Structure 1
């Protein structure tokens, strides 16, 4: 597929088949992602990929942590969504709820849907993306580039993905589960597998701003 086709067809998958991805295909997409450019070629990302029982056990640990309120992110989240950013956030959220028949005022079902982040929406694999604490903002920026390359590499191989910032909200539990040192900061996860094409939620798509809303030619 061309880059244009990959970008136009990729979406955040929230329902998966009960089917593992072959190790060779996982390694192929990771090798492609490893070509991501980084600040001073530091390549700050370290990635833990789960499969099978490890995915299940991690989902249980994260779900329990979130349910008990043991939340906390290594990297501060947005201070506030305002203006057009709040508009886009709300628009995407409401459209997502509509795709699965959740009324925007039904806070209980919205919370249930949010909790599915911690079970990776049923994906058989997740890749936990971490950065080095001492590389600061640019380490996290480079990891963002890695995530972008990774999801496009997966798309080329017919593998569905969803990048998940929510996993960073339980960073300490992630570190405890894998025995990571304190200087590894959890940036996000990318959960992946094969899409359940019949699931209504997988018909949901986000829109994109027009070029003139994002770019100024000087």
Structure 2
């Protein structure tokens, strides 16, 4: 293959699937205010059927998904919010959360948090207002649907990695269908409650929850977008 034909292949890819994927990645964002409209069942079925094509080690596909709609979402929302109100410090993760955020990771986390607070009018140092905003996690930001992603406990870290790949695919497929999403570690932090609420067996580990629906684009919580590190910050090249 000549250099000129290689360049042509790259140009063709840029106008096709690669360009569409780049647009999805550029456009996707975490929604923190939903308008409450239910997503039609056929759209959700298309979402999960397409996400099922996600890659996994040895094609084990260790993820399983619980999806709520309608009255089931409302029962879950009210029960979880009441549980958090009654037990504010009773966090339980099936997977250890980050021990600490240091350096650039701390800076990125803080930047994202202050973008949200500034958007919704939470002033620095206003702990009461920031706590109220944090509690919106447990009301799913008004989303009409929640997906709880679990993985096979015996597959350990690599099963969690595979399920994480599924989460990424789920988010992109949803965005391609016009469905807004937000993956929520806050929900994973209430794994004991969620396990009991849905009857999840002990051989499954709860990885994350994803609230989804249609975005309220007029809400200030949806008015900002987070940044991404440059390739030079994340990639080391070895050519020789």
TM over 0.5: yes
Shift of residue 64, structure 1, vs aligned partner: 2.2
| Separation of aligned partners in 2, 1:18 and 1:75 | 31
Shift of residue 40, structure 1, vs aligned partner: 1.3
Q: Which residue of 2 aligns with 1:10?
A: 28
Where in structure 1 are there 5+ consecutive unaligned residues? none
Cα deviation code 1:49-79 (max 9, x no counterpart): 0001111111122222222133211100011
| TM-score (norm: length of structure 1) | 0.97
Shift of residue 184, structure 1, vs aligned partner: 1.1
Cα deviation code 1:116-169 (max 9, x no counterpart): 111110000010000111110011111111011001101111111101111000
Task: Indicate the SS of the match to 1:7.
Answer: helix
Q: Which residue of 2 aligns with 1:98?
A: 118
| Separation of aligned partners in 1, 2:203 and 2:131 | 31
Single out whichever of 56-65 and 11-20 deviates more from structure 2: 56-65
Asked if 1:156 is matched to 2:161, the reply is no
Q: Give every structure 1 segment of 4 or more consecutive aligned residues whose post-TM-superposition deviation is greater than 6 Å.
A: none
Q: Which residue of 2 aligns with 1:144?
A: 164
State the number of aligned residues. Answer: 218
Shift of residue 5, structure 1, vs aligned partner: 1.1
Task: Indicate the SS of the match to 2:161.
Answer: helix
Q: 1:32 pairs with 25, 28, 50, which one?
A: 50
Larger Rg: 2
Tell me how large the CA RMSD over aligned residues is.
1.0
| Separation of aligned partners in 2, 1:58 and 1:187 | 17
| Separation of aligned partners in 2, 1:141 and 1:66 | 28
